Amino acid sequence: MESFFIYPALLFPAIPLMMTNFTHRYNSCAALVRKIHAEIIEKKIDTKDVMGRRYIAQIKTLTYRIKLIKLIQTLSGIALFSNLLTIFFKSKKLKSGQLFSIKNNSA
């Protein structure tokens, strides 16, 4: 009966850590987009020359990364919710005494 909780219990702390990690990545990418955009405006770079096209290509790449990070965070939230449901429903299948029982080997 104890093996029912091994996998959900191992995944439970990992999922929020993964979400935190991708939140930091999201913030970093968003800061880079803001920085590049500010450089374009500050230096008055024309988006039709070579340097301007490079900046625009970098912004497009970073915004694509941001979209992927949003997707990963959404899937991580779904994984956390399904993990909690698994733990909840498996605990309901066990009798309440079996869930928190302490084995006594001194028989």
Model confidence pLDDT, tens digit, residues 71-103: 999 998 898 888 888 777 776 665 555 545 555
Q: Which two tokens stand for residue 22?
A: 């991708």
How confident is the model at residue 106, as a pLDDT? 52
CA distance 52 to 72: 30
pLDDT digit string, tens, across residues 4-38: 667 777 777 888 888 889 999 999 999 999 999 99
Q: Name the more confident of 5 and 59.
A: 59
Fill in the DSSP letter of residue 94: S
How confident is the model at residue 3, as a pLDDT? 62
Fill in the DSSP letter of residue 53: H
At residue 5, φ and ψ (nearest 5 deg) are -100, 5
CA distances (Å), origin 98, targets 34, 49, 92, 102:
55, 71, 10, 9
